[in-house]
């Protein structure tokens, strides 16, 4: 049978994949996609807990699903602003590579 | 949900998630991300969260990915040419990620309730859209309106940022 632990482990592995993407890749757009993977890993564990912790009427705990709804909305807004910043940066520097953007580097 | 379907969609999501990170071509990464999100939506539906599964497909696999592909097209990004890889930094990144993975496995292994299966629902059908809507417009009305303002600010910000400077 599939237990809560299985969903949590899958969610943890997805988070680590996103984290490794942020740490290893140097392309801003790929880093952004990895951030989305991490947000979605958090969503998966929230929904698993919502299904696991039944409310009194025998229905899932919908507070967690409302939280997931908010996370998805904020992530969509974040992607819109972040990609606009990347476009502005590309116009100024003609690059999306983080190692080429080192003016503020000490 | 049968264990076979769970493992199928979980593996689909994880394999294509790895493909997002290792691909050199940004367009291939974005398309892999779509498949990964579809697997995740299937997992949401397996947890009886139909509304979340559907907005996952609509918002992520639809709107966000179109935005990503549109920006990649606009910037005309090619597959990255090979740069000299900083092996020390890469090894450090992999080590930190593996340490995080070990910690996550350790914590989940020590949760007492992580071995329990999911309790059965009371009815065979659930109206989750109805319940989420009641919560969203009742208990969470103020956060909901704040989110609305946030989306408006994000829209205006994106328009302002992508406007060309007058010369």
pLDDT at res. B82: 67
The Cα A27–Cα A11 span in angstroms is: 24
Mutate to test the interface with A, among B52, B89, B164 (most CBs of A within 10 A): B52
Q: What CATH code is carried by the domain that includes residue A18?
A: 1.10.287.3510
Domain B1-83 belongs to what topology? Answer: 1.20.120
Q: How is chain B split into domains, by residue range?
A: 1-83, 84-115, 126-167
Q: Judge whether A70 lies within some domain.
A: yes
pLDDT at res. B119: 84
ipTM: 0.91
* CA distance readout (Å), A90 to A63, B156, B166: 40, 20, 17
Contact A60 B128 (CB under 8 A): yes
pLDDT at res. B138: 92
Residue in chain B lying closest to A21 (CA): B21
pLDDT at B76 over 80: no
CB B30 within 8 Å of CB A33 = yes
DSSP labels for B78-134?
PPPPPPPP-HHHHHHHHHHHHHHHHHHHHHHHT-GGGGSBPPPPSSS---HHHHHHH
Report chain A residues whose CB lies below 8 A from the CB of B45: none
Per-residue pLDDT in tens (0 to 9) along chain A, 106 residues? 888 999 999 999 999 999 999 998 888 999 999 999 999 999 999 999 999 988 887 888 899 999 999 999 999 999 999 999 998 888 888 888 888 888 887 7
Residue B123's pLDDT band (cuts 50, 70, 90)? confident
Q: Specify the pTM.
A: 0.91
Q: Judge whether A33 lies within some domain.
A: yes
- Domain residue limits at A33: 4-100
pLDDT at res. B24: 85
A82 touches chain B (CB under 8 A): no
Number of domains comprising chain A = 1
pLDDT at res. B79: 59
Q: Quick one: average pLDDT of B54-78?
A: 88
pLDDT at B17 over 80: yes
Report chain A residues whose CB lies below 8 A from the CB of B44: 43-44, 47
Structure tokens at B148: 């609305």
Q: Judge whether A106 lies within some domain.
A: no
Mutate to test the interface with A, among B2, B13, B121 (most CBs of A within 10 A): B13
Q: Judge whether A12 lies within some domain.
A: yes
Residues 53-72 of chain A with CB under 8 A from chain B are 54, 57-60, 62-63, 65-66, 68-70, 72
pLDDT at B73 over 80: yes
Residue B167's pLDDT band (cuts 50, 70, 90)? low
Q: Percent of chain B, pLDDT > 70?
A: 94
* Average pLDDT value for chain B: 88
């Amino acid at each position: 049978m599939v237990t809560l632990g299985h969903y949590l482990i899958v969610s943890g592995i997805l988070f680590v994949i996103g984290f490794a993407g942020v740490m290893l890749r140097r392309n801003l757009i790929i880093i952004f996609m990895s951030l989305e993977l991490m947000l979605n890993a958090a969503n998966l564990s929230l929904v698993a807990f919502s299904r696991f912790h039944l409310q009194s009427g025998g229905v899932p705990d919908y507070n967690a699903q409302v939280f997931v709804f908010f996370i998805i909305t904020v992530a969509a807004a974040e992607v819109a602003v972040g990609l606009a910043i990347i476009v502005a940066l590309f116009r100024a520097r003609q690059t999306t590579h983080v190692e080429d953007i080192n003016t503020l580097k000490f | 949900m049968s264990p076979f379907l769970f493992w199928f969609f979980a593996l689909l999501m994880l394999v294509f998630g790895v493909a997002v990170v290792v691909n050199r071509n940004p367009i291939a990464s974005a398309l892999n991300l779509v498949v990964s999100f579809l697997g995740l939506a299937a997992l949401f539906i397996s947890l009886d969260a139909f509304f979340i599964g559907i907005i996952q497909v609509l918002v992520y696999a639809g709107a966000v990915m179109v935005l990503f592909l549109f920006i990649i097209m606009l910037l005309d990004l090619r597959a990255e040419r090979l740069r000299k890889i900083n092996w020390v930094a890469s090894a450090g990144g992999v080590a930190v990620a593996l340490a995080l993975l070990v910690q996550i496995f350790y914590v989940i292994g020590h949760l007492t309730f992580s071995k329990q299966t999911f309790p059965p629902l009371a009815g065979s059908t659930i109206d989750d859209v109805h319940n989420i809507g009641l919560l969203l417009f009742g208990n969470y009305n103020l956060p909901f309106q704040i989110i609305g303002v946030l989306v408006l600010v994000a829209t205006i910000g994106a328009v302002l940022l992508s406007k060309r400077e007058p010369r």
